[in-house]
Structure 1
Amino acid sequence: MNNLKQSRSRIPVLSALILLLFVVTLNAQTAKLHQVATNDCGVNGKQPFLVKGDNYTMPGGIDGSAAAKTCNFGGTVIYAFDRMDIQADYQLEVVYLSDSERQQRIIADGNEVQSPVTLEAGKEQRYKIDLPKKAFAYGQLVLIFEVLKGPNALVSELNLYSSNPRKPIPFEGEQKQALVNTQTYKIDTEVDAEEHLPVYATIPYSVPGVYNPVLSLNGTWLFNPSPKADFYTGKATDANWNPIVVPGQWSMQGFKVDSAGFGGYQTTFTLPADWKGKQVKLRFDGVSSECVVWLNGKEIGSHMGGMTAFELDATGALQQGENRLALKVRSESLADMLGSLTQYAAHQIGGITRKVTLFAVPEVHISDLRIVTDLDDRYEDADLKVYLAVTNAGKNTEKNVAARLSITGLPVVLDQSIPQLAPGETWTGWLNGKVANPRKWDNEHPHLYTMKVELGTADVTTEQIEKRFGFREVEVKGNQLLVNGKAVKLRGVCHHEAHPLTGRVLTPELEQKDVELYRAANCNFIRTSHYPPCEELLDFCDELGMFVEVEAPVCWIGHHANENWKTLNYRDSKYYPYVLQSNMETIQFYRNHPSVIFWSMANESYWNEEFAQVEVYVKKADPTRPHTFHDQAYGGFNNQGSTAPIANIHYPGPNGYKVAAESERPMIYGEYCHLNVYNRSELVTDPGVRSDWALALSPTWDNMYKTAGVLGGSIWSGIDDIFQLPDGDAVGYGPWGPIDGWRRPKPEYYDMKKIYSPIRVHTEKLSPARELTVDLENRYTYTDFNELQISWKYGNEQGISFVSIEPGRTGQIRILIADPQQANELYLSFTDPRGFMADEYIIPVGKQVQNELPELAPAATQLKKSNDKYRITGKNFTCEVDRTTGQILSLRQDKEEILNGGPWLMALPLNGGGCYPNHNANTPLFNDICTEWKVSEIEATKAGDDVVISVKGSYKEFEGGYQLHINAGGKLSVTYSFDALADVNPRQWGLVFEAPASFDKTFWRRDGLWSVYPEDHISRPVGEADLFYSGLPSHIDPRVEPTWSWSLDYNELGSNDFRSTRRNIWYAGLVAPSGSKVTAASNGQQHWRSWLEKDRIRFLVADFVTAGNEMFLNSYYAPFRKPLKAGDTIGGTITLRVE
């Protein structure tokens, strides 16, 4: 055993600093399991899954079986299995035989699958371990035997059993080598984050002697998609150089660059004469995603990372007068892969994608400024702590440098003297001061102060900077996140930077509009998926009031969504210097924004030892905020035991709140209630599917709000991700936002506003009275209702009501009415202190009349039969029914044809799709009626004033029949019953009829989910909609911004407004310009949909409607489904009126 003991000097003992996440059950039964892998450890050729460990055979004095006497040993021993079945059950059998006492454990991808076990000298010990699914959640199992006490770790036998007989395969090549190089969970906690934080000099407000110290280089540059290697040495003169807008993506401006190649940029600028003698910085807020920068032919720097800022010193390369700036830029780089940027957008996002700024600072200048505001235990007074860095970039030692800090509107002045600053030296220190009860910043009261810092020598100011900031403090306490001492509930959305024409490039005006739109929809939180935002977005969040989670540009590392990981090993340490860099750049650039309340290290990535090490840097880089990591905090998929202070779960389903309630950490739903997008054919056919989304969000949010452990969530997603390329292609994931790419609200926007509303009116109806009492609930975090403007209207009376209800409380308002009989509804509106209408309600007062249709008087009706049809007539009434099909050929009243087809059975199956960025502008419609109708029996008889036509027959999918009751007074009813001939899971079933194309306006009255809707919302309870709206172009150009509402958009079936399903109708119909109309009269339990079918209008009156087949929403919609088995019956009675 001497060799084994001597190995201690060359194989270090590894220690792991991870939490105990899972305790396995030992000695499980293997009766139902198949042996799928065996390893006789220590024997070459019989240990195929060994990755790391030396061989050894026990000496003769150690008793044990022959297999147990051979072993692998080392500071860590690693075995790895690929092609595991993530749905199967697995059991590990492990045998130890040790020559001396030692203690060790087994780790699987960060999870402890065997807790510490003591190995006794000379004793063969056998264990059977049921493996938790999270140990092999990605189809790979990596077992690490780790020594805790004793010389090293060992293992003698290793067998794997599974419920799936398929055998795993060993790691090979790069995968295997990466594991050998991995120092599993030996986390260094004594790191210096400052070494990895980039320098972003504070852009000055003023520099004495300089008219303007800031020069924007945004505008028109020159671009070449395949420049010569030395293009940066001279002017761009050949024909391949063309104008390009900066900031901008080259692909959105019609340029194509080889995926492995670099595009070239050039521009010129004139250096202001009064910048002479100053230090000049060149800052790029974003270049996607790898670049080299030259100034006047001299390389001044390079950068990797498409969504983070970098800063270069341009001083030494500048010349007086005109200067030439050149870049070579590659889109697909390591940064692009680790951020899944191009893959996600489904097109190259390469280019100078964010603003470019040149600015001048004095030689002795402020090179860093970090603002910290710690509040006292009562969250009233503040300790102001300002980290200041002052750099001497000159050649001379500067003495008696002084900095003075002041805050506009507060009696705060902090002075700092720096006796001496040598050339190249940077002084750093903290300026500290007490501030008595400043106004706090929170999202509902975004109070900002302006900090001024003046730098100078001998009473001469050489630089002044100004920075807006807010007094606020973020803490994690138990399973809640506190901002200024209040537990917050985050009503959020995920925000991609997306625009149809500019791609991932937005203007400041659009960034402002996004924040305003989200805020008006009662969102209080934005997650910047999956990269940091433009700086301007956070400026507006600070100013307008919005909490923000800023995410580093790291996405899908290890995740199956990024196909690179099918051949690469996500644990390989070579990928993580960039992960660290991008997190440090993110934190350093955005840290002074009060709106940012926590960081995200990555999106949907696989936690491992490298991420654990990056996390140490994140904590040290900013100890004032928590962070999260977007994996899965529970379950079998992507749950690797991450330790971020804020737990995360994506798409937890309707019961996720029950798990979060037991969480020891605050749990954020990083993504939830994904909007409809992958059921693409359903959406282009029936926009009404979008309104069903509220059926998922509403109960989910209520449960989230009421569960302390749920921090909140961010809806996926905030804006449609569709890019209209100049060549005519449309790419992206699709229309998954409550607002479209042009920033027009879609149906889900108003649903989100209502569901996220911090104002709840719990009174559902009132009786007429001189005093109306309304029950209210305040779901704000910081705002008392006495800060709102509450307006009311009742008939011709109106007024403003005042009431104090503290956050989280309930209360009442009382409204005095002079004439209670003048109206039958009370309208209430609530205006937020920040100036937008937060919510509005209509409360019914007294008896309500829903179905306002007068009764039709029956009329004498005659029946005539011929060989091919039935003819039903009466005064000014004619209806012809085909005797072969049993369907209406023509129904006329006052000589105008009103119906010319139907009834046909529709049982439209659910139609979904997979999660891919495969948006297609030519998505096929899905609107089929049942097929191959054949009549087996048909009979027409008189029944009182009516004619009754009884029809039996079969479709390919159903068999059954219907009865048509026709009266010349204008009433037609159909009672139908059909049995399914095959299994089908329908979205809608009912009967379809046809009318002439002149019936091009639909109207309705229905029960809405909300009492108030915008006038252009497709789900408004009362309204009318045109087939096509006048004033719109005959063809919608997807590259031209529309000036009309989303509901007016159209396709071959008609406008969004016309062809949307209207649920729960009291009546709905079609009307022609002449005034003739057909109306379906109902009781609030049926549903209506109309559309253009070639040269006629079809309409469906449905007895069943369920939500669409969006894969992310099916668990929410399961209670509303009615899957049919062969033999199941569907049916109902439909009543039509023609007038």
Structure 2
Amino acid sequence: MVRAMLGACCLAGMVALQGDTAMVHQIEAVPDGYHLIAYDDCGVRDRQPHVRCEGVHTYSEAHVAADERTRSVAWGWKEVGARFDQLRPDISYVIAVTYANEPFNARVQSLYAGDVALHGPRALPKGGWERLVFMVPHEAIQDGVLDLRFRLEGPVNVVVSAIELWAPLPPPKALHLTDVSALWKDLEGRALDLAWNPVAGARVTLLRRDAPDAPIAVTETDAEGMFVFKRDVLIALPRNADLLLRASSTDACAEKTVSASDIWFDPIRYRPIPAAIHGLRACVRTLDGSWRMRAGEPAAARGLPLGDHGWRRFKVPGQWLQQGLDVPLTEPVSVATEFPVPAEWRGRRVILRFDAVHGGTQYWLNGVRIGSSENLFTPVEWDVTEQVLFGQPNRLDMEMIVQTESERLAHASGYAFHSLGGIPRSVRIFALPATHLRSLRISAGLDRSYQSGLVEIMADIEGPDAERAVIRSRVLGTDGSHMSQPSVRSRSLSFSVPGIRPWTNETPNLYTLQVELIVGSRVLERITRKIGFRTVEVRGSQLLLNGKPIKLAGACRHETDPLTGRADTARHARRDVVLMKQANLNYIRTAHYPPTQELLDEADRQGMLVEVEAPFCWVGNEGFYSLRAILTPTSAMVDYHHWHPSVIIWSLANESTFNPCFEVSNRLVKELDPTRPTTFNNPAPKRICDIANVHYPRMPFDDYDRDDPRPLLLGEYFFPICHEQTDVRRNPGLRELWGAGHSDPTSDYGKACAREFSWPYTQPGEPPGAWTHIVESRRVIGGAIWAMLDEPFYLPGGKQVGYAWVHGFWGLVDGWRRPKPEHWLARQIFSPVWFPVRRLPFTPGQQHVEIPVENRFAFTDLDRLEFRVRCGRRLSVLRTSGAPGHRAALSVPIPSGANAGDELACEVVDAAGRSIVTATMWLGEPALPRPCKPQSDAVAVPDAPEALGDAAAWPTFHVTRFDFADLWTAQPPFAVLPDGRPETAVTLRGTSLIIRQKWPGFEGAVIMTPDASGAQRIAYEFVNNGADFFAREIGLRIPLKGHDWTLSWDRWCEWGDAPADSIMRRRGVAKPFRGKSRSRSPESVRPRWPWDLDETEEGTADFRSVKLNIYQAALQSSNGPSLTVYGHGDVHVRAAVEGRATAFYLLSRCAIGPLLVRTGDTLKGDFLLEVKNVQEVRKARR
């Protein structure tokens, strides 16, 4: 049956032989008489016994239309290997390999058997799969060993789905026991045959390893090869007992040991850090500061004084690579420090707490090994009471290595493109009384009426007086008043708190919870927590906060700093939350790992909803061998962050395969914290998480997986223009297009912008009206913009690493925490006070206009806000009322003399005086600019000889090939076209100057005609004689000599005016550089200027950004000459320093989406240009 199945696959997946790429060993099918003797199901780690790879991954069905086995691949950065041994020299073997590939990746790879190429560079099928069969040449097998190497020959990486080894030998009898585990569940597993297909009816016996003749239980496998022993069978067994599984089928048998560590799992519980303990003035000390580090032999390092010359200073928190120690992920680093423990702490327990440690770590204190850890983004703590010296220095040594199972599952260093090894968060020691709280679980919810608070506390008490100890708890108000009577119980308690104000992101009301541990009449320790009373529920397809539906307007946030990497980021917590609030965002997804405690403290205080994500990224179809490494940090995440009111969702992983480990992880999280929903940031076929989650679906979002009844969260969407690295670097003004059309999706402009989203690739931004669609949806609960922050990292010497140089300048805010254009656009798009009508019906002489207002808050009535409306010189301060989800209206007095097209600017201010948004509206249609009125020194076209002499400096046709980058890899890269100098002929026809230009691929003319005002009407018309291509910019380029040019502009903006330091402001002036020439300050030096003044060789971001929809724009030289172009909001301009010259680009088109230009298509447009001080301009062009 295996043979028949694989043979059919061979015929289905066959492609044409490619002899020109070394396919001489390929055959059409496995020969008759051959049998399968080995099989690697490469996409599952414990089903690839011969494979060496970096990891495994499973493509979605949407990307590869095949079964899960075919869609699951092993991958490597440069190579995937496989080794088969004990092969016979007298046998001719056959290898069959299966490849699969997504539609958007241009993978090219070769396959070698030993030194023989079975196939040379081969492009894998996009969005499909193939199975290739090869006769293995005898010379490829050396000493009975066949080494296969799948080698990278192009971009991306190397993948392989399956490897089969066939031979003219009897098929081996094989039975595999796999997927075996009992952590946090029943003992279960599968019985599979040689090709990893289910074996039904196999007899499976459970025994103790030390009593192999005394069966504990017996069962049989089902049709899927599954067997299960209920956990009740295991409860009575000793926790240190290893078990044995014996399986037998009709023609094979197998045994597998199940170690005790694969049966029992204790979730992580942290000791609460006390605010005070009896008899001590201070009970917590930080160990942050100057430590020591060194590479080399760790055992030797532990014996060396910290003053030894081999030690290097290591600032904690920190990463060692950022501090000059570059060590491979697989090699050890020693880290050490000395610290005192106060003598007055003697008689107490002493706890050493790391908020995070990045690396598999062995710990020694004063020469005594105290333990090991490898969870990366959650705390590690040790009771070091028996090892510390009181009143003396204590020596702590850590042997660290980055490459661990946890690192592989988190993909942390790979994602950051550099080693994250180090101690990224704070370290402290704290004292506890001998009898103390070993763990503390807190829940602060609401009763069914959502009026009174409910506190539930569960505590574990440890120590000699644990049986006599009780806990006492009370809630204090913001003024210190008692909100509740003290409640006392031995291990757990619950009590009601009437009269509270619930916590929401709009009203972040916090209270102080005190928990005291008491023995007799003595308070041994006091714990304080800031809590907020709120409930989170999933009801049908809605997510409810305190019983009300909410919409999540958010962004994904990494812990990141350009100079310190993922370390020492707690200092950014307050600023980051402030920036998100300023952008009118209410939700953070902590991609792709748990955040610092400080971030959640700020989210609690300022009012921000948070989805906390477990530290797993791009995890493939893992077996249960990874279960402990998944459950440990997941349980740590829940215990460490569970008491924050801001945390409303637990995310199990990022963009991973929903393998059986995550089923158990979901069960664990729900048992540890039943008060919050779970989600999984990828499709999960079993739908067992509470919230469905998808990344980058197409609009309308409601159409995605319509039969799924759960709430739908867009885990990632709405990413900025960042993949188009080349294009957006030279023209940062493209970033404005991210929000184009969203102010009024029903306008002609909004509809035109929407038409740019019709292409079959994942595009930046979202179609106009996307957020309104979410607001109005009964199913989509919100989304997280990718991303909040840019991702650049600078190593010593200025070396650049990180996603930023792939496509990671993806933030609303840059890595230095400077707002970018998208930050202000988000403020407009996601404003909780929305103005659905931007062009107000108006007739001159009208005394009032009505402005519709939509309340997109969840908890705030409009009567809590102030509306400051300015029309001309009149400022009106108005109020209205409207419940969340409802509309209201403002009646605005209009001053006499107001005209159609005049602006209204409405600033919305909350009760605390915080500005929410300033929205611009127009009375009727926006007024067009005044007609061009050139000054008297404007001149007509020069005569023919002068024109011929200056022909090379006149406007030339300009177009850019669209920069798809890695979004649509089938398309050619970005390019500025046409290329090279054209063949040029200049003639006069009447008063018009005709400049004919011809390049390979383009031919046409620029026609310059003076109009009645004395300005030049410049028209262009060119034919594409080359191949089809996609265009972004289309227009003309005017070259000018030198850099002494200042750009000024006046333009239309759908949102009104942007901040004064924004490249999007309606009126402005920009110089090429901050100084007289380009700054020599490297990018790795923290800037002291706003983002718009960042420089490249083409000028500041402000100068080189396209100015869209201009009324007029000018390049002015300090020597007098100037060029001014006029438009009706339909012309775009861009300036750029190009070598020793400056270019002025006049553009008819510059949009977020591409324009398909076919062979034979004509591209044309025209501009009105005024040239002043023409003699000087002529010199400048030269």
| Shorter-normalised TM range | 0.7 to 0.9
CA contact (8 A) 1:367 1:389 kept: yes
2:798 corresponding residue in structure 1: 728
Shift in alpha-carbon separation, 1:391–1:1033, aligned structure 2, 3 A: farther
**Residue 312 (structure 2) pairs with residue 242 (structure 1):** yes
CA–CA distance in 2 between the matches of 1:750 and 1:780?
A: 19
Aligned pairs (5 A) from 1:832-911:
832-833=910-911, 835-845=913-923, 849-852=927-930, 854-856=932-934, 870-871=944-945, 880-882=946-948, 888=951, 901-911=953-963
Q: Percent identity?
A: 29
Q: Secondary structure at the match of 1:252?
A: helix
1:681: Cα distance to partner? Answer: 0.8
Aligned letter for 1:336?
Answer: E
**Residue 868 (structure 2) pairs with residue 791 (structure 1):** yes
Shift in alpha-carbon separation, 1:625–1:835, aligned structure 2, 3 A: farther
CA–CA distance in 2 between the matches of 1:862 and 1:526?
A: 59
Aligned pairs (5 A) from 1:421-500:
429-500=491-562
1:654 corresponding residue in structure 2: 699
1:126 corresponding residue in structure 2: none
1:780 corresponding residue in structure 2: 857
Shift in alpha-carbon separation, 1:521–1:620, aligned structure 2, 3 A: same
1:400: Cα distance to partner? Answer: 3.6
1:1108-1137 deviations in Å (ceiling 9; x for gaps): xxxxxxxxx3xxx32111100001112210
Q: Secondary structure at the match of 1:1123?
A: strand
CA contact (8 A) 2:962 2:975 kept: no
1:1009 corresponding residue in structure 2: 1054
1:249: Cα distance to partner? Answer: 0.4
1:240: Cα distance to partner? Answer: 1.4
Shift in alpha-carbon separation, 1:194–1:443, aligned structure 2, 3 A: farther
CA contact (8 A) 1:414 1:431 kept: no
2:487 corresponding residue in structure 1: 415
Shift in alpha-carbon separation, 1:188–1:488, aligned structure 2, 3 A: farther
CA contact (8 A) 1:473 1:484 kept: yes
CA contact (8 A) 1:934 1:955 kept: yes
1:363-388 deviations in Å (ceiling 9; x for gaps): 11122222223433332233321112
CA–CA distance in 2 between the matches of 1:31 and 1:319?
A: 69
CA contact (8 A) 1:545 1:595 kept: yes
Shift in alpha-carbon separation, 1:186–1:379, aligned structure 2, 3 A: farther
**Residue 1002 (structure 2) pairs with residue 931 (structure 1):** no
Structure number with the bigger relative contact order (C-alpha 8 A, sep ≥ 6) is 1
1:300 corresponding residue in structure 2: 370
CA contact (8 A) 2:941 2:1010 kept: no
**Residue 1035 (structure 2) pairs with residue 993 (structure 1):** no
Bigger drift between 648-657 and 705-714 goes to: 648-657
**Residue 614 (structure 2) pairs with residue 552 (structure 1):** yes
CA–CA distance in 1 between the matches of 2:1040 and 2:264?
A: 73
CA contact (8 A) 2:940 2:1016 kept: no
CA contact (8 A) 1:38 1:47 kept: no
Aligned letter for 1:1001?
Answer: T
Shift in alpha-carbon separation, 1:731–1:177, aligned structure 2, 3 A: farther
CA–CA distance in 2 between the matches of 1:84 and 1:542?
A: 36
Bigger drift between 1028-1037 and 248-257 goes to: 1028-1037
1:966: Cα distance to partner? Answer: 4.1
1:1031: Cα distance to partner? Answer: 9.1
1:753 corresponding residue in structure 2: 827
Aligned letter for 1:488?
Answer: I
1:662: Cα distance to partner? Answer: 4.7
Aligned letter for 2:370?
Answer: I
1:227: Cα distance to partner? Answer: 4.5
Aligned letter for 2:988?
Answer: A
CA–CA distance in 1 between the matches of 2:1103 and 2:422?
A: 42
1:405 corresponding residue in structure 2: 473
1:383 corresponding residue in structure 2: 454
CA–CA distance in 1 between the matches of 2:67 and 2:330?
A: 45
2:636 corresponding residue in structure 1: 585
CA–CA distance in 1 between the matches of 2:667 and 2:412?
A: 26
Pairs aligned (count): 944
1:795: Cα distance to partner? Answer: 3.6
Q: Secondary structure at the match of 1:1127?
A: coil
CA–CA distance in 2 between the matches of 1:643 and 1:1087?
A: 51
Return the match for 1:207 from 277, 283, 286: 277
1:567 corresponding residue in structure 2: none
Stretches of structure 1 that go unaligned for 5 or more consecutive residues are: 1-28, 53-79, 93-105, 110-132, 140-161, 419-428, 559-569, 634-639, 872-879, 890-900, 918-923, 1108-1116
2:403 corresponding residue in structure 1: 332
**Residue 346 (structure 2) pairs with residue 276 (structure 1):** yes
CA–CA distance in 1 between the matches of 2:466 and 2:1003?
A: 95
CA–CA distance in 2 between the matches of 1:808 and 1:437?
A: 26
CA–CA distance in 2 between the matches of 1:201 and 1:1029?
A: 53
**Residue 1020 (structure 2) pairs with residue 976 (structure 1):** yes
1:962: Cα distance to partner? Answer: 2.6
Bigger drift between 706-715 and 950-959 goes to: 950-959
Aligned letter for 2:905?
Answer: Y
CA–CA distance in 2 between the matches of 1:1017 and 1:460?
A: 61
CA–CA distance in 2 between the matches of 1:790 and 1:87?
A: 49
Bigger drift between 1030-1039 and 641-650 goes to: 1030-1039
**Residue 1179 (structure 2) pairs with residue 1127 (structure 1):** no
1:1042 corresponding residue in structure 2: 1087
Aligned pairs (5 A) from 1:498-537:
498-537=560-599
CA–CA distance in 2 between the matches of 1:433 and 1:795?
A: 58
CA contact (8 A) 2:954 2:1038 kept: yes
Return the match for 1:678 from 710, 716, 723: 723
CA–CA distance in 2 between the matches of 1:354 and 1:498?
A: 12
**Residue 965 (structure 2) pairs with residue 913 (structure 1):** yes
1:791-825 deviations in Å (ceiling 9; x for gaps): 23334433432211111110012234565649943
Q: TM-score normalised to the size of structure 1?
A: 0.77
CA–CA distance in 2 between the matches of 1:502 and 1:346?
A: 14
1:742-765 deviations in Å (ceiling 9; x for gaps): 000111111111111111113424
1:293: Cα distance to partner? Answer: 1.5
1:98 corresponding residue in structure 2: none
Stretches of structure 2 that go unaligned for 5 or more consecutive residues are: 1-7, 16-26, 43-55, 73-99, 107-127, 134-160, 167-173, 181-188, 191-224, 236-262, 741-764, 1173-1182
1:350 corresponding residue in structure 2: 421
1:16 corresponding residue in structure 2: none
Aligned letter for 1:751?
Answer: L
CA contact (8 A) 1:902 1:994 kept: yes
1:414: Cα distance to partner? Answer: 4.1
CA contact (8 A) 2:57 2:618 kept: no
2:49 corresponding residue in structure 1: none
**Residue 1014 (structure 2) pairs with residue 940 (structure 1):** no
Shift in alpha-carbon separation, 1:549–1:186, aligned structure 2, 3 A: farther
1:840: Cα distance to partner? Answer: 0.4
Q: Secondary structure at the match of 2:270?
A: coil
Aligned letter for 2:338?
Answer: T
CA–CA distance in 1 between the matches of 2:650 and 2:450?
A: 23
Shift in alpha-carbon separation, 1:809–1:661, aligned structure 2, 3 A: farther
1:252-281 deviations in Å (ceiling 9; x for gaps): 111112321221111111211221111111
CA contact (8 A) 1:414 1:433 kept: no
CA contact (8 A) 1:722 1:741 kept: yes
1:321-344 deviations in Å (ceiling 9; x for gaps): 221222122122221111001101
Return the match for 1:222 from 279, 292, 300: 292
1:235: Cα distance to partner? Answer: 2.5
1:17-47 deviations in Å (ceiling 9; x for gaps): xxxxxxxxxxxx999967999999xx99369
Q: Secondary structure at the match of 2:630?
A: helix
Shift in alpha-carbon separation, 1:413–1:367, aligned structure 2, 3 A: farther
1:74 corresponding residue in structure 2: none
1:524-572 deviations in Å (ceiling 9; x for gaps): 11000011001100010011100001111111112xxxxxxxxxxx433
Aligned pairs (5 A) from 1:95-244:
169-170=162-163, 179=178, 182-183=189-190, 195-233=265-303, 235-244=305-314
1:769: Cα distance to partner? Answer: 4.1
Q: TM-score normalised to the size of structure 2?
A: 0.74
1:624 corresponding residue in structure 2: 675
Aligned letter for 1:855?
Answer: K
1:573: Cα distance to partner? Answer: 2.2
